[in-house]
Amino acid sequence: AVAQKANNVYRSSDTTFKSVGNPVITHKYTADPAALVYKDKVYLYTGHDVAPKDQARYVMHDWAVFSTSDMKTWTEHAVPLKASDFAWAKGDAWAGQVIERNGKFYWYVAITHGSIHGKAIGVAVADNPLGPFKDARGSAIVTNDMTTEAKISWDDIDPTVFIDDDGQAYLMWGNTTCHYAKLKANMTELNGPILKVEGLPKFTEAPWLHKRKGWYYLSYATEFPEKIAYAMSKSIKGPWQYKGIINEIAGNSNTNHQAIITFKGKDYFIYHNGALTPDHGSFHRSVCIDNLYYNADGTIKRVVMTTE
Ligand code: FUB
C-alpha cells in the first residue's frame, strides 16, 4: 500500500533517506538504473514506473536522480529530466546513461520519436550531475531509420556511453541487435558509421560497457524474461568472448537492466526487479544494489539477487 501510494511521487526538493537492503528505493517505482561515479559521490539515475495497476505496459514520463556518499544514505533530488523536455519526442522516458566530459554531463536516453517511427535516442546536457538537463541537440542522435535491420519500434533503445582511455567516446545501444558508433568530442554527434556488435549470444537489450584491468566488459540483458549476461574483450571493437550469466531472472519482472560501477574500492551491481509489487512487477520495478565480485582471471562471479 505504501508503494502504491508513493508511485506518483515527483520530487521538487531534496529528500534524504537511508536504504535498508533491497530494493534500495521504496517510495516510488524505479527502473533501468544507470550510475555515475563523480568525485566522491555516486549519482544514480533511474526511470520511473507509474503504470496504473490495471495496465500491463510501461508508463514512464520522467527520470529521477539520487546521490550518495556511502551507498546507504541517499538523497533524491528534484526531477532532473522529463520526456517532455525533448520537443521532438512524444513521450516514454526509457533507459539511459549519464557521463561526464570536460565538466559537462551528457545523458543519453531512449524515448519515442514524434515523427519518425519508433524509439529514438536523445541526449541532454547539464553543468552538474543533478541537472536540470536540457536537450543538447534539438533532435535525436539516433533514429529508427538509421539502423538497417530496424524491424521493431523499440530496437533503438537502451543507450550506454563509454569514454576510452584515449579519449574516444562510444555510444552503444539496441534491442535484438546491439549497435555501436563513435561519438565526436562534442558528445552530441555520431562520428562514423553505426556498426553491429557481433558475438553476443541471445542479446535482448540493456548493454552496459565498463573497463577493468585492460579488459572491456559488455554486460547485457539476455532472453526474455531477462537475465544479465556478459562478454569480455581486449578491444572495444571485439571480438567479444561470451562469459556467462551474472544475474538470474529478475524475480517477477520480465526485464532486468544493470549498471556496474566501482566506488571507494568496491564493485557494485545495480539492477531492477519487481519486489515492491509482487503482482505487477514487470511494470512497477524497483532498483536494487548488490556487491559485485571478480575472479582472479577477470571473470565475474554470479550476483545472487536479494530482497532483504
Ligand atoms: O523501461 C523500459 C524498458 O524496459 C527498458 O528500455 C529496457 O531495458 C527494459 O528495462
Answer yes or no: is the C-beta of 156 below 6 A from any ligand 1 atom.
no
**What value does the mean pLDDT take over residues 33-42?**
98
- pTM equals 0.96
In the predicted structure, residue 271 carries a pLDDT above the cut 80: yes
Does residue 195 have a pLDDT over 80?
Answer: yes
Residues 84 and 76: their CA atoms lie apart, in Å, by: 21
User: What's the pLDDT score for residue 279?
Assistant: 82
pLDDT category of residue 10 using cuts at 50, 70 and 90:
low
Handedness of CA 60, 63, 69, 73 (dihedral sign): negative
Cell of 18: 537511508
Ligand 1 lined by 257 (C-beta under 6 Å) = yes
Q: What is the DSSP letter of 72?
A: S
Interval 267-276 mean pLDDT: 94
ipTM field:
0.98
How confident is the prediction for the chain on average, in pLDDT? 94
pLDDT at res. 125: 98
Residue 32: CB within 6 Å of ligand 1? yes
The per-residue pLDDT for 276 is 87
Q: Is 250 in the pocket of ligand 1 (CB under 6 A)?
A: no
Q: How far is the CA of 255 from the centre of ligand 1 (A)?
A: 7
Q: Give the whole-angstrom CA distance, residue 144 versus residue 157.
A: 9
| Closest ligand 1 atom, residue 205 Cα | 8
* Catalytic-residue membership of 32: yes
Largest CA distance in the chain: 50
Give the per-residue pLDDT at 205: 98
Best CA proximity match to 207, nearest among 151, 269, 259 = 259
Q: For 210-222, what is the mean pLDDT?
A: 98
- Average confidence (pLDDT) over 180-208: 97
pLDDT recorded at residue 251: 73
Confidence at residue 8, expressed as pLDDT on a 0 to 100 scale: 62
pLDDT (average), residues 46-75? 96
Which atom of ligand 1 lies nearest, measured to the CA of 154? 6
Residue nearest to atom 9 of ligand 1 (CA): 255
Our answer to whether residue 308 is catalytic in this structure is no
Distance 73 CA to ligand 1 centre (A): 26
The pLDDT score that the predictor gives to residue 151 is 78
